[in-house]
Amino acid sequence: MLENQGPVNTAIQLVMEPTHHEGFTKLWELNRLDLTVEAIIRHHPYNQLFPQEVIDKARQKLEELGYNDNID
């Protein structure tokens, strides 16, 4: 996926999926949501690469599982 779409488009696709992707689920099981694509793209400088809609969706997915990184 990374090779075909590049890192930004891959991250957008993963975040915008209606369900949690495999990596997200595994990191949730390990209690490491801070390492998900969703968490990382909310931080500077990565957040500058993504539209607000994607950042909002990332926050929503994290909050659904009780994770809050207190960025907002």
In a domain, 39, yes or no: yes
Q: Is this model's pTM higher than 0.85 or not? A: yes
Instruction: Write the pLDDT tens digit of every residue in 52-71.
Output: 999 999 999 999 999 987 77
Residue 70 falls inside a structural domain: no
**Total number of domains in the chain:** 1
- Rounded CA gap, 25 and 45, in Å? 25
| 45 prior amide bond cis, ω within 30 | yes
Does the residue 13 lie in any domain? yes
Write the pLDDT tens digit of every residue in 4-54: 999 999 999 999 999 999 999 999 999 999 999 999 999 999 999 999 999
> 58: domain range?
2-64
In a domain, 22, yes or no: yes
